[in-house]
Amino acid sequence: MKTPDFFAAIPCIRLRDPLADFLGACDGGLVEYSYLDAVKLAGHSCPTVASAYWLTRQALRELYGEAQPERGGLRVEFAAAAADGVSGVIANVVSLLTGAAGEGGFKGLAGRYTRRALLSFSADIPLEIRYTRLDGHGQVDAAAHPARVAADPAIGPLMQRCLAGLADAHEMRRFGELWQERVRRLLLEHGDDPEVFTIRRRV
């Protein structure tokens, strides 16, 4: 599977999943997710998928510091409704990384390892997403602003030609390259820019 070279430069997210440990899925329950895992889940790489991945990484860093984040140990709330805009796409990526799931999630074993009802929408929160540790040791509100990383001016016209079936092979390839270049800049040049990725810890 050939992917853009910059995918390999995007830091992975490492967590401990107690359920995976209990069921023997991986030694110590230690799991690692890469940006490519998010891309495979979504079926594409775009600023939305990239933002969901990176915002969750930043939120986990704020909530756990140097400690190992616990997959399944978070409740996640979204301000938007599930069907609004790209909320569903973002939620799928966040669910992959945190283990938090909606009503269709894993119901647990003897009251433990529950993932169901840990992800919800239409919440009364100030930013886009709220991540809350179930152990009571922290809560953050978060939002991504990918529009603040401008696209190459050629993307718009190229997209129109591609969607209209007018683009040749070179134009289609060029459109993809420019699209992914914006994703690269978003994550690798603006990953620590608070104007692009906002994380607010709640007291």
pLDDT digits (tens, 9 = 90+) for 115-137: 999 999 999 999 999 999 999 99
pLDDT of residue 202: 87
Buried b (16+ CB within 10 A) or exposed e, 33-43: bebbbbbebbe
Q: Check: CB of residue 135 under 8 Å from CB of residue 125.
A: no
Parts of the chain with a pLDDT under 70: 203
In the β-sheet with 74-78, what is the strand arrangement from edge to edge?
119-120, 74-78, 129-133, 139-144, 197-201
For residue 105, what is the DSSP state? S
Domains and CATH numbers, the chain: 5-201 (3.30.1330.130)
DSSP states along 148-178: GSPPPTTHHHHHHHHHTT---HHHHHHHHHH
19/25 Cα distance (integer angstroms): 8
The whole-model pTM stands at 0.96
pLDDT digits (tens, 9 = 90+) for 64-77: 999 999 999 999 99
Indicate the angle between helix axes 169-184 and 155-163, nearest 10 degrees: 130
